[in-house]
Amino acid sequence: MAASSQGSRPISFFEAAFLGLRTAVTSSTPESAAVFFSLRFSTGILSHYNGLGHRRRGKTLLKKSVCLLAFAATLLPCSFIQPQSTPQIVVERGVAMKTRDGVTLRADIYRPAVEGKYPTLLQRTPYNKDNAAEFARKAAARGYLVVVQDVRGRYTSEGEWYTFKHESEDGYDTVEWAAALPSSNGKVGMFGGSYVGATQMLAAIAHPPHLAGICPVVTASNYHENWTWQGGAFEQWFNESWTSGLAQDTLNRYIRDNTNARVGSSVLPLNQYPVFNVPAPQNAAELTSEFAPYFLDWLDHPTYDSYWKQWSIEENYQNIQVPALTIAAWYDIFQGGSLRNYTGIKAHGGSETARAGQKLLVTIGGHAGGGRKIGAVDFGPAAEKYDDNDITLEWYDYLFQGKQNEFATGKPVKIFVMGKNEWRDEEAWPLERAKSTSYFLHSVGKANSAAGDGALSTAAPPSDPADTYVYDPANPVPTVGGPLCCDSQHLAPGPRDQTQVEARPDVLVYSTPPLTEDLEVTGPVTLDLFAKTSAADTDFTAKLVDVAPDGVAINLTEGILRAKFRESTTGAPQPIAPGQVYEYKIDLWSTSNVFLKGHRIRLEVSSSNFPRFDRNLNTGKDASSSSEFVKATNTILHDAAHPSALILPVVGK
């Protein structure tokens, strides 16, 4: 047995090795991290982190994982670099606090070695507080008290883990506890991305008195629409890969709490010894119910009901009373929500300080990646200008220390303009000077695939024949790139060549001629589509694409709409009548891209984007509880009576 770094609680070799490997990933050599990254575990004992702290699923058997873990541990250095105090920084590990209902949460605290009162930066994470050590050290050296806490039910903190459930109350309690620490000056700001952004937003709507600022990075505004569901479709890839990552710590805690060698001591022959006291499930789905019940609850609540409203951010902007730096990204899975958070707090924040104190930075990748090259595209040296950690510290230097940096002197909005690959300051989002321009769909009835006759034009259609394709749930259009999370090894995110997708007959392709001059599109993108289907229900998907002169077709932004949710994605579904024409307004979120001279603007229309979204079975039943499906013949109309159009925010020179 080994001693826990959080106290005297003994931990097993399994947990010690697990903690050691995980520490090596964040604190040791690249070679050590590579050993850790090579492991794959089907039940999720171990997996590696991507750039935002999410972990990737593995594929080997549980009983083999322990052997692999032990083997990998022998390849790592004998000592691991834990966060330690230095002459400049004092580090306290595993500091406990009690929530209002008596649950112990643990945090690591970093502070300057010089005694004093310092502004406090707080992160509450489900991804292991050790991963923030590098940022925390940097911030402490810059004059901040930094508190990094494992949220309830995760890693070193006690209690039950359930997504979103405890974050408002626990966040409030933690902010007030942090503000009262001996080295705190009483001002608390929060930081971090993705779910760590959600812990900020959920704390902010509870408006703890000592919260003085937030910095949510690539996070959502609603945990129903555009987190778990989008346009009525289930965000299958994200929901499943994220859940599998989250469940790994839950399983590890279960094994730790229930392992007892005495239980199997009487078993003969000895080669049948049960290494863990884990009942064998009758099927894999039992593990989901045991270790990730929230996943099943998401499926049970496809509409925006009371289950989701209890955690709504959008309905509580008036309760947010602090300045915020919102960091969004064009290819991020939560782009839509990030932009809504900025506009929502700016318009409806609960104080003038909040409304006037909103800043927005829109980068490129978010969950899809960082740096200069994201996906298949090199965005040039300017793409590397802003690092999330550095910009977070600059934000709080301005907000808490009064430094006159670009947050004090610049415009409130900064965006990266793709195509030109440059940064630009703006007074507002969306851009007031952007002109909503309709690009109407045209064809002579054969827009199937990029080899078809589909076209886009600002001229309204006269009497074009309709386009038809067959959507087969057994052969869905594959997801190629886009705003994905959380397993980039098995499904690569970001900008990717769509040539493979556009060769399919069930994908309608509409393109402009090569542009005679550069054309900028910056802002929200919408497809106004008139369509009918032979099925009881179906989906319609849309994707905006930039086509280079050499034919490489790079995705920019995309959307989906389930037919029965055409009236509202928050209300009750409205069934359709097969064969009847309906209007569908598909939200493709936003982009900022200059289509260069010689490039073409392209729109893809289909009925699936799998596995990003779950497949519509075309029966009217949900894939959450049904496996039967039928083919659907779907028809897109674009004539004078049904002027289907891609609506783009065009920015003049």
Catalytically active residues are 194, 332, 367
How far, in Å, CA of 171 to CA of 609, rounded?
36
How far, in Å, CA of 623 to CA of 635, rounded?
23
The first and second tokens of residue 250, run together, are 């839950």
Largest Cα–Cα separation, the chain:
83
**C-alpha distances out from residue 84 to 109, 131, 600, Å:** 11, 14, 55
How far, in Å, CA of 240 to CA of 487, rounded?
10
For residue 269, give every residue at least 6 positions away whose Cβ sits within 8 Å of its Cβ, in sequence order, or none.
none
How far, in Å, CA of 275 to CA of 263, rounded?
10
Is-cis flag, bond preceding 611, omega within 30?
yes
The first and second tokens of residue 605, run together, are 């229309």
Is-cis flag, bond preceding 87, omega within 30?
no
Other Cβ atoms closer than 10 A to 134: 12
> In terms of residues, how long is the chain?
653
Helix axis angle, 388-401 relative to 133-141, nearest 10°? 40
Query: 565 and 297 in contact (C-beta within 8 Å)?
Result: no
Residue 114 identity: V
DSSP state, residue 205: T
How far, in Å, CA of 646 to CA of 529, rounded?
8
The number of CA neighbours under 13 Å toward the Cβ of 109 is 22
How far, in Å, CA of 204 to CA of 223, rounded?
15
